């Protein structure tokens, strides 16, 4: 990794805006500022400047801007940093950036500023992940979770788990060095209790990590059912806007329509699909096939039965299998039913027309996602999600030990226990260690935008 050169990038989103920020970091950052502005502000202060292109004849002014400087190591990256707050838009920030290149900087790679912050010890790996989570947050709850991560919560939790595993391992290893007669009464029961407590704490940590994954990635919630079951109307009602076309004519939804929605703090990808039925229409038949494919990948399926029909959609749920969050049987168009008929129906009832049952449906979706996180039915960790991977692997090692010891004689085997706890501690040690593979770092920082 090139860490001795100076990098620059536009740090704000492209498009029409009042202000755009060009960030410069590296050993020559102050030299770049000197060439563009004619001076370097005192670190921590700002000054107004005419930004000039050092390569242009006569030093052409490209903008008037605010220049800030931050001296290493008290900057975001741990290096000398200069930020130029110029006018927004598409042309001006690019002109300022090109002037930075002319002054000796190069274009930063994706996530390179945060990567340098990590490599220079300003943040740890978990905090780097939290930076990305905060940028990508789609709900308030997801943003709150990311802010806690920025404060080092992941590192503290990992350290506590690791220290606990090492402590239990040391206790068992010591017992193996002395005779059985020297062990105090109840020692085996005490060790069993410590291992059970570690297992429970790993379970809580895994639940929080899976919940965090759902908050980061969101959940796929698919509306399914026969044509005219009210799927599009329900989607519009949940979104609070007319996103999907609604018509009394069956089969108007041919392709899937999706939008992000905040449900109980979870970002969900709500998808309206083509109605399930046999069709001779080639386009509609393709829409039905796509519906089946989406249902097979869904975290939760909302299976709609209109109130004026006795049953529908059951075959779809059976053929596609049970999604991690299950199938929610929803009776739509419940405004067509009398009050007595609604009470006799045991299923969740909604009306897109009146709004009845929408809050209950949102609560049910959130509850399903909570159970997914608690049960481990959420999607498995990707290669870059080392926290969840390490915790799951550590817990699996303890669980395999427990099964072997119960299967052997039902009595604690200190050798098996020592090997299991030591293995779990080694997995957790990766969370508090200082070594990271190049692939792991690439997996994380390549997901950032340029400028961060």
d(CA 201, CA 212): 16
Rounded Cα gap, residues 153 and 161, in angstroms? 12
Cα gap 321→420, rounded to integer Å? 35
Element (H or E) spanning 349, and its range? strand 348-349
How high is the pLDDT of residue 435?
A: 47
Question: What confidence tens digit (pLDDT) does each residue in 426-444 have?
Answer: 888 877 764 455 655 666 6
- The residues, any chain, with a CB within 8 Å of residue 392's CB and separated by 6 or more, are 206, 376, 381
Which element (helix H / strand E) includes 267?
strand 266-272
Size of the chain, expressed as the number of residues it contains: 452
Q: In this structure, are strands 300-306 and 327-332 parallel, antiparallel, or unpaired?
A: parallel
Q: Cα–Cα distance between 410 and 403 in angstroms, integer?
A: 9
pLDDT of residue 317: 45
User: What is the pLDDT at residue 283?
Assistant: 65
Q: What is the CATH number of domain 123-216+381-452?
A: 1.20.120.430
Write down the pTM of the prediction: 0.74
Q: Do domains 7-121 and 123-216+381-452 have the same CATH topology?
A: no
Q: Residue 288 phi/psi, 5° resolution?
A: -65, -40
- What is the spatial distance between Cα 338 and Cα 121, in angstroms, rounded to a whole number? 66
Bond before 73 cis per omega within 30 degrees = yes
DSSP of 86-140? EE-SSSHHHHHHHHHHHTT-EEPPBTHHHHHHHHTTSS-HHHHHHHHHHHH--SH
The count of other CB atoms within 10 Å of the CB of residue 223 is: 30
Among residues 275, 276, 244, 248, the alpha carbon closest in space to that of 261 is found at 244
Question: Which is nearest to 87 in space by CA: 159, 20, 133, 31?
Answer: 20
Looking at the domain that runs over 7-121, which CATH code has it been given? 3.30.1360.120
3-state secondary structure (DSSP) of residue 69: strand
Question: Distance between CA 196 and CA 188 in Å, rounded?
Answer: 12
Strands across the sheet containing 46-52: 46-52, 61-70, 81-87, 19-25, 7-10, 106-107
As a whole number of angstroms, the distance between CA 16 and CA 18 comes to 7
For the chain, which ranges sit under pLDDT 70?
Answer: 1-3, 57-58, 243-255, 276-287, 310-321, 338-346, 376-385, 405-411, 433-444, 447, 452
Q: What is the pLDDT of residue 213?
A: 85
**Residues 125 and 444: beta-carbon distance below 8 Å:** yes
The pLDDT of residue 348 is 86
By DSSP bridging, strand 266-272 and strand 106-107 are unpaired
For residue 34, the model assigns a pLDDT of 94
Which token pair is 380?
């498995």
So where are the chain's domains? 7-121, 123-216+381-452, 218-375
Beta bridge partners of 24: 8, 82
Q: How confident is the model at residue 228, as a pLDDT?
A: 81
Closest to 266 in 3D by CA, of 135, 141, 373, 130: 141
Architecture of domain 218-375: 3-Layer(aba) Sandwich (3.40)
Strands 327-332 and 348-349, how do they pair?
parallel
The whole-number pLDDT of residue 226 equals: 84
């Amino acid at each position: 990794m090139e860490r001795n050169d100076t990098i620059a990038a536009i740090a704000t989103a492209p498009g029409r805006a009042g202000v755009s920020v060009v960030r410069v970091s590296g050993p020559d950052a102050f030299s770049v500022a000197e060439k563009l502005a004619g001076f370097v502000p005192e670190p921590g202060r700002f000054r107004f400047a005419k930004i000039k292109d050092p390569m242009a004849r006569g030093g052409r002014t490209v903008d008037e801007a605010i220049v800030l400087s931050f001296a290493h190591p008290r900057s975001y990256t741990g290096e000398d940093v200069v930020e130029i707050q110029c006018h927004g838009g598409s042309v001006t920030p690019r002109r300022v950036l090109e002037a930075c290149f002319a002054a000796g900087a190069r274009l930063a790679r994706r996530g390179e500023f945060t990567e340098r912050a990590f490599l220079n010890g300003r943040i740890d790996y978990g905090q780097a992940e939290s930076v990305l989570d905060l940028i990508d947050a789609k709900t308030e709850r997801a943003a709150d979770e990311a802010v806690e991560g920025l404060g080092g919560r992941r590192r503290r939790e990992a350290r506590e788990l690791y220290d606990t595993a090492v402590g239990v391992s040391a206790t068992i290893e010591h017992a193996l060095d002395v005779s059985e007669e020297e062990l105090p009464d109840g020692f085996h029961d005490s060790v069993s209790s410590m291992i059970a407590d570690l297992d429970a704490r790993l379970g809580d940590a895994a639940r929080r990590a899976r919940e965090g994954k759902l908050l980061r990635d969101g959940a796929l919630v698919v509306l399914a059912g026969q044509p005219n079951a009210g799927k599009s109307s329900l989607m519009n009602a949940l979104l609070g806007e007319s996103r999907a076309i609604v018509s009394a004519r069956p089969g108007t939804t041919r392709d899937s329509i999706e939008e992000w929605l905040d449900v109980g703090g979870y970002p969900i990808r709500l998808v309206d699909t083509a109605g399930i039925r046999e069709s001779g229409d080639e386009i509609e038949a393709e829409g039905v096939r796509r519906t089946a494919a989406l249902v097979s990948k869904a975290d939760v399926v909302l299976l709609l039965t209109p109130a004026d029909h006795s049953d529908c959609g059951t075959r779809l749920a059976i053929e596609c299998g049970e999604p991690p969050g299950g199938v929610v049987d929803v009776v739509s168009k419940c405004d067509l039913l009398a009050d007595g008929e609604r009470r006799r129906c045991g299923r969740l009832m909604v009306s897109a027309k009146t709004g009845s049952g929408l809050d209950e449906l949102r609560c049910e979706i959130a509850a399903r996602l909570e159970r997914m996180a608690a049960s481990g039915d959420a999607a498995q960790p990707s290669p870059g999600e080392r926290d969840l991977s390490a915790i799951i692997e550590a817990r699996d090692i303890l669980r395999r030990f427990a099964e072997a010891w119960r299967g052997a004689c039902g009595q604690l085997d200190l050798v098996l226990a020592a090997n299991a706890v030591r293995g779990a501690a080694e997995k957790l040690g990766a969370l508090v260690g200082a070594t990271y593979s190049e692939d792991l770092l690439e997996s994380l920082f390549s997901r950032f935008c340029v400028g961060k």
